[in-house]
A and B are shown apart, each in its own frame.
Chain A
Amino acid sequence: MARPSRTMSSAIDLPITPMLDMTFQLLAFFILSFNPMSAVEGQLQFTLPVSPGGRLEPVELPPEPPTTEPGKLTAPLTVVVKTVRDGVNDGNISALILQTLEGELAVPDLEALRAALQSKREESAGQLKIAAETRLKYACLIDVMDTCLKSGFQNVGFAAPPDLGVH
C-alpha cells in the first residue's frame, strides 16, 4: 500500500463560504434588531404624594373631587390644565390656572407659568400637583410637566382630573 508522501502539499482548505453565510445571517439579525431611537429616549420621574406619617397613601385611590375650590387643595400648589375639543384645538391647552392656598392665578402660557412657579417654589417645598383634564393631549401634559420640572420642582405628581366622571 502506497503511503502518502510527506513532501506532498498538505495545505488545509478552510471552508470560508459557510462561515461567511452564517456571519451574514448574524449581521442581518443585528441590523434588524438595531434600534437607534432608544438612544434619544429619556425619563421623566415623578413621585407619589406621601402622607404626613411618611407612608404612601392607601393603595385604593378613591375618585377625588374636582379641586376647584382653594380650601380643598391637597397640595400647596396645583396647576390646573384645561382643554377644549372644538374641532380646531383638539386637546391643546386652553387655560392654565395656578391654585395656591391663597387663591387662583390664571396664567396665559407656559413661560408665564414657569415664572409664577419659580416665585412660589420656596413656600411649597418643591411639591406640586398637576390636575389635567381627561381630554388633554398627552404631549401638552408633558409640556406642562416639563415646565414644572424646569422651574425647580422635584416632587411633581398628578391630581385627579377635574372633569373625571363628568363626560
Chain B
Amino acid sequence: MAQVSNDGGCEPNLIPLLDLVLQLVMFFIMVANFAAQQVTSDVMLPLATSARPPDPGETDVIYLNLNSEGKLMVTGREPLQTLSEVKYFLISEYNTAKRAAEQAGEKEPKTVVIIRADKNADFKPVYEILKECKGAGFRKWQLRATVKNK
C-alpha cells in the first residue's frame, strides 16, 4: 500500500513485493535442476510407455545428445563431427572417470552414459556411439525417452 510521506510525496510500500519475489526465488531454487544444463532442448526425444523416471541417486553420468542429423553434442564443446572425435572424447572421459574411481578406492568407474537421441535420427549413429562407449570401457548406459502415458 502506498504511504504518504511528510513532504507530501507518495512512497510505494516495497516490502510485500519483496516478500513475493523472494518466495518465487525460493520456488525456483527448489526446482532448479542443474544437471539439466547438460541436456539440450534441440533433441526431441521419442515416446516410450515403459520409460521409468530417472534415478536421482545416479550422479556420475555423462550426457550424450544426438541431434536429428546424428551429430553428437556435448556440453561446452562444438558438435563432434567424426567418429574419431567421438572415440577420442569417450576415451578421455573414461580415463578421467577411471582416475577418479581409483582415487576413491574403486576398481571400475560407475559412470552411466546417458544417450539422448533425437527421434528423427537414424539408428546407425546411435549404434556406433554405443559401440564406441563399449570400446572406451563404459559398462553402464541408458537411453532416454519421453514418458508416454499408457
A: which residues have CB within 8 A of B?
16-17, 19-20, 23-24, 26-27, 30-31, 33-35, 37-38, 40-46, 48, 56, 59-61, 91, 132-139, 141-143, 145-146, 149-150, 158, 160-161, 164
A137, B48: Cβ atoms closer than 8 Å: no
Encode B72-103 as 1/0 by CB contact (under 8 A) with A: 00000000000000000000000000000000
A138-B14 contact, Cβ under 8 Å, with A33-B32, A41-B144, A133-B123? no
Q: Tell me, rounded to whole Å, the shortest Cβ–Cβ distance linking B99 to chain A.
A: 18
With CB as the reference atom, state the residue of chain B lying closest to A17. Answer: B14
A44, B144: Cβ atoms closer than 8 Å: yes
B144: which A residues are within 8 A, CB to CB?
41-44
Number of interchain pairs (Cβ within 8 Å):
155
A23-B22 contact, Cβ under 8 Å, with A42-B54, A138-B119, A138-B123? yes
B120, A139: Cβ atoms closer than 8 Å: yes
B52 at the interface (CB under 8 A from A): yes
In Å, the complex CA distance between A40 and B120 comes to 19
In Å, the complex CA distance between A44 and B47 comes to 11
B39: which A residues are within 8 A, CB to CB?
35, 38, 41
A30, B28: Cβ atoms closer than 8 Å: yes
A59-B134 contact, Cβ under 8 Å, with A20-B17, A27-B21, A43-B143? yes
A135: which B residues are within 8 A, CB to CB?
122-124
A41-B122 contact, Cβ under 8 Å, with A27-B24, A33-B32? no
A34, B28: Cβ atoms closer than 8 Å: yes
A37, B41: Cβ atoms closer than 8 Å: yes
With CB as the reference atom, state the residue of chain B lying closest to A16. Answer: B14
Q: Tell me, rounded to whole Å, the shortest Cβ–Cβ distance linking B31 to chain A.
A: 7
A42, B31: Cβ atoms closer than 8 Å: no
In Å, the complex CA distance between A40 and B45 comes to 11
A24, B122: Cβ atoms closer than 8 Å: no
A132: which B residues are within 8 A, CB to CB?
123, 127
With CB as the reference atom, state the residue of chain B lying closest to A36. Answer: B31
B135, A60: Cβ atoms closer than 8 Å: yes
B143, A161: Cβ atoms closer than 8 Å: no
Question: What 8 pairs across the A-B complex have the smallest Cβ distances?
Answer: A42-B51, A30-B28, A134-B124, A139-B119, A139-B46, A149-B50, A42-B147, A142-B46
